[in-house]
């Protein structure tokens, strides 16, 4: 790790875990279909409450502990059973909720390259942020290290936004996300 908790190099182990990440187990996952191969990375944006950063809402949502009375918005989502493989906090801290060899419930109704059910063959990466708020340099640094580790372990064909696999339903990571920074990452 470099200063500030941003990883300089990451690896994915045989169990689908990244040792440089803080692991918080989410129950919102299951086995991938037997014939599926991880080949897609899906970038998301999330903040709970919306537009606020640094709280426990994301962890609580992904572990089914979100208190619907803690914020008016929470009452509308506390019933959801969702997760992601990873969350990258504003300061670049990396959290992992689901091992990569399991299916996290992050994409919902989705389609990529003519194939539905993106959860079956993708890894979900949530960036703490909002569609219209620029993401932090520390987040891009961690994202770059994570994408490199995932590309080293899996035959990744594309990195896309949630909006790309669920157009009309999702907008994240939004126009504030700088796709040119992802395009510049080594393959």
136 is catalytic: no
The residue annotated as part of the active site, out of 126, 128, 136, 157, is 126
3-state secondary structure the chain: CCHHHCCCCCCCCCCCCCCCCEECCCCCEEECCCCCCCCEEEEEEECCCCCCCCCCHHHHHHCCCCCCCCCCCHHHHCCCCCCCCEEECCCCCEEECCCCCEEECCCCCCEECCEECHHHCEEEEEEECECCECCCHHHHHHHHHHHHHHHHHCCCCEEEEHHHHCCCCCCCCCCCCCHHHHHCCCC
- Enzyme catalytic residues: 126
């Amino acid at each position: 790790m470099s200063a500030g908790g941003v990883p300089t190099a990451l690896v994915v182990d045989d169990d689908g875990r990244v040792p440089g990440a803080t692991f918080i187990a989410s129950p919102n996952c299951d086995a991938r279909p037997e014939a599926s191969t991880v080949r897609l990375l899906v970038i998301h944006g999330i903040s709970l409450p919306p537009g606020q950063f640094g709280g426990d809402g994301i962890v609580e949502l992904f572990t089914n502990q979100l208190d619907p009375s803690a914020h008016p918005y929470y009452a509308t989502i506390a019933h959801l059973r969702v997760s992601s493989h990873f969350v990258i906090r504003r300061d670049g801290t990396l959290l992992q909720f689901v091992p990569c060899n399991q299916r996290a419930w992050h994409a919902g109704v989705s389609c990529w390259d003519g194939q539905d059910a993106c959860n079956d063959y993708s890894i979900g990466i949530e960036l703490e942020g909002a569609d219209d708020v620029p993401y932090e340099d520390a987040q891009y640094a961690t994202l770059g290290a994570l994408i490199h580790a995932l590309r080293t372990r899996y035959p990744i064909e594309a990195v896309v936004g949630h909006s790309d696999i669920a157009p009309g339903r999702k907008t994240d990571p939004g126009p504030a996300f700088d796709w040119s920074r992802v395009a510049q990452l080594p393959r």
